[in-house]
Amino acid sequence: MQLQEVLFRQGFGTRRVCAGLIQQGRVQVWPDAEAIQPAVVTDSTLEVTAPGLRFTVQGVPWEYHELAYLMLNKPAGTECSQKPSTYPSIYSLLPAPLRHRPQKGPVQGVQAVGRLDQDTTGLLLMTDDGKFIHRLSSPRHHVPKVYEVTTKHPVDARQVQKLLDGVVLEDDPKPVRAAACEAVDTLHLRLTLTEGKYHQVKRMLAAVGNRVEGLHRSQIGTLTLPHDLAPGQWRWLSAQELAGVGYAPA
């Protein structure tokens, strides 16, 4: 693939802008996996092996990914919307190329896989692979999601049992149940859900007479939020981590 096409596909601008960045000496490329230093390339049509290619654009290091799969540690006070109403958007936490990747399938730029409320923190997956979004959002696939819940009132064994047995939410007669639920201490619950209905945790806790004071998603499938990923930070997912949420890219 030509170097200008690599930049274009990674979201660095139109093909013309990408060719210009290279011709102006703003792009450096690591010639191979062993190379320590990248070197300036000014030939925008240089043929390169795109998968795994490492390069810098205006000093910012980047790695070629055909499709983007990443995790974000969502901070409190952010909205999972491209057009937020009250709080800053999670998309403002991502570098511009991730938001501007050209459309390959139905998805333009990376998108959140499902949504978390503005006050919910923790593990959020993002991608531009429409199949991945569909797969993880589909109720048929039952990917378990683990939530750490801080409650307003002390949790008792009766509440835990009700959450496991199933509770009825106001707009749906079919009960929803937790796949797992344990009281961590008096005011903390660990709840595993395999569906993702609107405000599900908050509504389930309300249905058993308690109230959510804090909500943090710590795990999706076998993928746990790494301790060294600070709130607001993102990183690429490895193939192994993708497998941990039950997905193998085509």
Q: Is 19 helix (H, G, I), strand (E, B) or coil?
A: helix
Shortest distance, position 10 Cβ to ligand URA, whole Å: 30
Gap between the Cα atoms of 238 and 53, Å rounded: 15
- 202: helix, coil or strand? helix
Taking the C-alpha atoms of residue 126 and residue 6, their distance in angstroms, rounded to an integer, is 21
Letters for 200-219 (x = contact with ligand URA by CB under 6 A, - = none) are xxx------------x----
Q: Cβ(38)–Cβ(56) under 8 Å? A: yes
Residue 180 has φ and ψ, to the nearest 5°, of -155, 150
Among residues 135, 153, 188, 199, the one that binds ligand URA under rule CB under 6 A: 199
Q: State how far the alpha carbon of 54 is from the alpha carbons of 33, 35, 63, in Å.
A: 8, 10, 5
Choose between 35 and 180: whose C-beta lies nearer to ligand URA: 180
Binding letters toward ligand URA, positions 159-198, x by CB under 6 A: ----------------------------------------
Binders in 51-110 for ligand URA, by CB under 6 A: none
Of 227, 243, 25, 2, the closest CA to residue 135 belongs to 243
The stretch among 30-38, 101-109, 113-121, 240-248 that binds ligand URA (CB under 6 A) is 113-121
Q: Which of residues 115-154 bind ligand URA (CB under 6 A)?
A: 116-117, 120
Q: How far apart are CA 21 and CA 9, in angstroms?
A: 14
Q: Do 137 and 112 form a contact (C-beta atoms < 8 A)?
A: no
Residue 53 or 191 having the CB closest to ligand URA: 191
Minimum separation from the CB atom of position 243 to ligand URA (A): 24
Question: Whose Cβ is closer to ligand URA: residue 198's or residue 236's?
Answer: 198
In the block, tokens 């429409």 appear at: 130
165 in active site: no
From the candidates 32, 43, 117, 228, give the one annotated as an active-site residue. Answer: 117
Residues near ligand URA, by CB under 6 A: 116-117, 120, 199-202, 215
Residues noted as catalytic: 117
